[in-house]
């Protein structure tokens, strides 16, 4: 981290502040799920992909690269045949575990209410969609 950035505080309400990009990153569903899985310890790519469910290899690769770039995840490649790569949370990434677990827990706890509200809204608006 640069000395210049060490004392810097962002402002998510300022459209010019890079905090907005970080909010997009940590609010992304794949980020929430990957951080949650890596909370249990390092994982290989295939295990992550299979555990997340519904994510393509391309999207998971992009998510992991972005998390690595942001300093939230470490990628360790082991020099063996076949190659083995593991992903693990950094200290910064571990600092996101609790807030993202709360968000995921809230979503799981309240999804039935949200689905009911959506259905009620859609009925009133004459919309015939699922979710």
Helix axes 97-125, 29-38, angle to 10 degrees: 140
Q: Provide the terminal-to-terminal Cα distance of the chain, rounded to the nearest Å.
A: 42
Cβ(34)–Cβ(93) under 8 Å? Answer: no
pLDDT, one tens digit per residue, over 64-83 is 999 999 999 999 999 988 88
Share of the chain above pLDDT 90, in %: 66
The domain spans of the chain are: 13-96
Q: What is the pTM for the complete model shown?
A: 0.82
Residue with the bigger pLDDT between 5 and 88: it is 88
Phi-psi region of 90 (alpha: psi -120 to 50; beta: other; left: phi over 0): beta
Distance CA(48)–CA(54), nearest Å, equals 11
CATH for 13-96? 1.10.10.10
């Amino acid at each position: 981290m640069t000395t210049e950035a060490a004392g810097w505080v962002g402002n998510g309400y300022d459209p010019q502040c890079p905090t907005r990009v970080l909010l997009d990153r940590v609010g992304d569903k794949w980020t929430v799920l990957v951080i949650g899985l890596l909370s249990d310890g390092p994982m290989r790519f295939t295990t992550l992909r299979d555990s997340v469910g519904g994510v393509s290899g391309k999207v998971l690769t992009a998510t992991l690269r972005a998390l690595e770039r942001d300093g939230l995840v470490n990628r360790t490649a082991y020099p063996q045949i076949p190659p083995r790569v593991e992903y693990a949370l950094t200290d910064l990434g571990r600092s996101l575990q609790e807030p993202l677990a709360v968000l995921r827990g809230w979503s799981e706890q309240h999804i039935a209410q949200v689905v009911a509200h959506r259905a009620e809204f859609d009925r009133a608006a004459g919309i015939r969609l699922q979710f």
